[in-house]
Amino acid sequence: MGYLEAIIILSGINIIAVMGVSILTGYTGLFTIGHAGFMALGGYMSAVMVKEFHLPVILALIIGGFFAGLCSFIIGYPSFRSQLRGDYFAIATLGFSEAIRLVLNNTKTIGPLNIGGAFGYMNIPSATTVPMVVGVLIVGLYLAHMFVTSQFGKNCIAVSQDETAAQMMGVNLLRTKLIALFVSAFYAGVAGGLMGFYFAYLSPSFFTITQSSNLLAAVVFGGIQSLIGPVITAFVLIAIPQLLLVFSEWRLVIYGFLFVIVMIFRPQGLLGYVEMNMNFARVLWNKLLRRKTVDVIEG
Amino acid sequence: MSADIQQSNPILEIKNLTVDFGGVRAVNDVTLSLQPGEFVGLIGPNGAGKTTVFNLITNAIQATSGEILLNGKSILGKSPDQICRLGISRTFQNIRLFPQMTAYENVELGLHSTPHYSLAEAFVRTPRASRVEKQTHQKALELLEVVNLREFARERASSLPYGLQRRLEMARAMATSPQMLLLDEPAAGMNEDECKDLIRLIRQIHESMKYTMIMIEHHMNVVMDLCRDSRIYVLSLGSLLTVGTPTEIQTNPQVIKAYLGERKNG
């Protein structure tokens, strides 16, 4: 039971971070390989809030998310101002997240606070439970859905499809991208917070480029402009390595192989452009109804 | 005619506009002025700098020198999205729709490129925000109706036939509620019948929406028909060759020379 629980919690945490990456990469078209940095910022911030200031966990998570979101402006403003995009922006985020990791690695104390440096931040109150992760996940998914279907989200999609045309139609590129980055970093920050409260311990070594690229992989794998795709793949990508443990090193090969297959046959990702909605159910229902009426007429 | 033009205030004034691309002077000392509600044509042989003038007006490229005034205020150095919000909207020579979005979503974008509610309302979707969404929805469908694309609302933009994509671009440009509409070769690649429909559509839009419009076009019958009550600017090699009514342009030897070249033994 404990093992299953661990998988659910860990994949839940990853899914929350992946939703953030999906908003930025899938919907706004900005590739990021630095979201582990935002997870670290949010994680440490929420841990400090609970451990040192004894705030309620949920409030601490929100503060952590906001903190990560605000810090995202540090990298977002200059890079969007100078119109970095594509690989260049991805490299910038990578640099930012590595910088955060190294700073945390080398910071033992901030004033009276002991955050442990490379040893990690210890004795964080343990608070993350399965219902809590699932609760945050559902609320997060709902809010993300609201965001991407809002006027802000639709502007993000337009920016991802044709930046010049979007700007000519009056979309403020800088503001739209900063909002997407903020929301995205918020999600990563909350995920980082949940991570700290689960392990009761945070170490800079959690937040390496491997973590960032896993998040990006889930989005690319799951599909751009889709929330449900990345959510499913994020779960699968956590679960599959566990299932494939018997194959030891070979699992990474299988993992890579799956990626190549998907990229060849579905470059837009498994569920690319598939929105989370009930359209398929409506279509099915209509079909059923039609068949019934046809039956009636023929009968 | 020139007397009453000077009396009322021009909506758009371009003064001595010049732009250099490296050593090439793409637009050279162009001056033009438009009254509110006018419909003027901009023609010229390929490479004359017509689209560059549009790009300069919307500040997709920066002018080397000269001035652009909208309602008497300089818009030089404003970003393209600011210029759009000030009321200049355009279509593109090589269609630039959002390919993966539906026709409806393309038009809708023009309506909400500046969101009409706050970020917090986006997440919680207050009644006010839902009301705004509903209004936007209604307006977008109305605009699709104007260009006769209502039935294609749910089609992906990239899957529409070429002629419909052009019309969709126009609807999207209209969605930003502009004062001025810049049409860049709306009839490109259309046959005679489609051109006639387009002329009717553009005239109807011009009359009902009261936009000031500039149109770049190579189809001479489209230009001559639409500009029959106004004037046509002719650009050649970046400079303004002449201005005049369609009949004046058609018989102007300079224009003919620019288009067809000069007879060697003539």
The ipTM, to two decimals, is 0.89
Instruction: Measure the CA–CA gap between B10 and B162, rounded to whole angstroms.
Output: 35
Q: Contact A172/B97, CB-based, under 8 Å? A: no
B84, B86, B95, B123: best to mutate for the A interface, most A CBs within 10 A = B123
pTM of the prediction?
Answer: 0.90
Both B187 and B259 in one domain: the answer is yes
Q: Which two tokens stand for residue B33?
A: 């002025």
pLDDT value for A281: 65
Q: Measure B98 CA to nearest chain A CA, in Å.
A: 6
> Considering only A242-246, B48-52, B66-70, B130-134, which range has the smallest mean pLDDT?
A242-246
pLDDT value for B262: 75
- Local confidence band at A159 (pLDDT 50, 70, 90 cut-offs): very high
- The last residue of one of the domains, among B154, B175, B196, is B175
- Local confidence band at B3 (pLDDT 50, 70, 90 cut-offs): very low
Q: Measure A251 CA to nearest chain B CA, in Å.
A: 35
Please write the tens of the pLDDT for every residue from A55-112.
999 999 999 999 999 999 999 999 999 988 888 999 999 999 999 999 999 999 888 8
Q: Contact A161/B60, CB-based, under 8 Å? A: no
Percent of chain A at pLDDT above 70?
A: 94
- Angle, CA B160 vertex, CA B155 and CA B165 arms, to 5°: 115
Instruction: Measure the CA–CA gap between A34 and A93, rounded to whole angstroms.
Output: 5
pLDDT value for B7: 54
- The last residue of one of the domains, among B175, B199, B227, is B175
- Local confidence band at A294 (pLDDT 50, 70, 90 cut-offs): low
Query: Does residue B2 register a pLDDT over 50?
Result: no
Query: Does residue B4 register a pLDDT over 50?
Result: no
Helices and strands, number each (H, E), in chain A: 12, 2
- Local confidence band at A241 (pLDDT 50, 70, 90 cut-offs): confident
Please write the tens of the pLDDT for every residue from B68-111.
999 999 999 899 999 999 999 999 999 999 999 999 999 999 99
Percent of chain B at pLDDT above 90?
A: 77
Q: Which of A170, A191, A188, A190 is nearest to A180 (CA)?
A: A188
Percent of chain A at pLDDT above 90?
A: 64
Q: What is the CATH number of the domain that holds B10?
A: 3.40.50.300
Q: Which two tokens stand for residue A203?
A: 């170490």
Both B189 and B134 in one domain: the answer is no
Please write the tens of the pLDDT for every residue from A247-259.
767 777 877 888 8
pLDDT value for A242: 73
Q: Which of B182, B111, B83, B93 is nearest to A167 (CA)?
A: B83
Both B109 and B239 in one domain: the answer is no
Please enumerate in sequence order all residues whose Cβ is within 8 A of that of B13, keeping only pairs 6 or more positions apart, or say none: B32, B33, B34, B67, B68, B69, B72
Domain count, chain B: 2
- The last residue of one of the domains, among B144, B175, B206, is B175
Q: Over chain B, what is the mean pLDDT?
A: 90
pLDDT value for A267: 79
pLDDT value for B5: 47
Query: Does residue B6 register a pLDDT over 70?
Result: no
Query: Does residue A295 register a pLDDT over 60?
Result: no
Please write the tens of the pLDDT for every residue from B180-208.
999 999 998 888 888 999 999 999 999 99
3-state secondary structure of B69: strand
pLDDT value for A143: 95
Amino acid type, A62? I
- Local confidence band at B17 (pLDDT 50, 70, 90 cut-offs): very high
- Local confidence band at A261 (pLDDT 50, 70, 90 cut-offs): confident
- Local confidence band at A278 (pLDDT 50, 70, 90 cut-offs): low
Phi-psi region of A230 (alpha: psi -120 to 50; beta: other; left: phi over 0): alpha
Both B170 and B196 in one domain: the answer is no
pLDDT value for B226: 92
Q: Of the candidates A143, A155, A173, which has its C-beta nearest B115's C-beta?
A: A155
pLDDT value for B9: 85
Instruction: Measure the CA–CA gap between A237 and A11, rounded to whole angstroms.
Output: 8
Both B46 and B76 in one domain: the answer is yes
Name the CATH topology of A2-298: ABC transporter involved in vitamin B12 uptake, BtuC (1.10.3470)
- Beta-sheet strands, E only, within B148-260: 180-184, 212-216, 232-236, 239-244
pLDDT value for B79: 93
Q: Contact B98/A158, CB-based, under 8 Å? A: yes
Both B182 and B74 in one domain: the answer is yes
Scan residues 83-122 of A and list those with Cβ closer than 8 Å to B. Answer: none
> Considering only A265-274, B62-71, B91-100, which range has the smallest mean pLDDT?
A265-274
Three-state secondary structure string covering A2-17? HHHHHHHHHHHHHHHH
Both B81 and B182 in one domain: the answer is yes
Q: Of the candidates B85, B122, B132, which has its C-beta nearest A170's C-beta?
A: B85
Q: Contact B112/A146, CB-based, under 8 Å? A: no
pLDDT value for A273: 77
Both B166 and B211 in one domain: the answer is no
Q: Measure B128 CA to nearest chain A CA, in Å.
A: 13
Residue of B nearest to A179 (CA): B119
Query: Does residue A1 register a pLDDT over 70?
Result: no
pLDDT value for A3: 84
Phi-psi region of A87 (alpha: psi -120 to 50; beta: other; left: phi over 0): alpha
pLDDT value for A299: 44
Both B146 and B76 in one domain: the answer is no
**Domain assignment of residue B231, given as a range:** 1-87+178-266
Q: Contact A154/B112, CB-based, under 8 Å? A: yes
User: Does residue B143 or residue A268 have the better pLDDT?
Assistant: B143
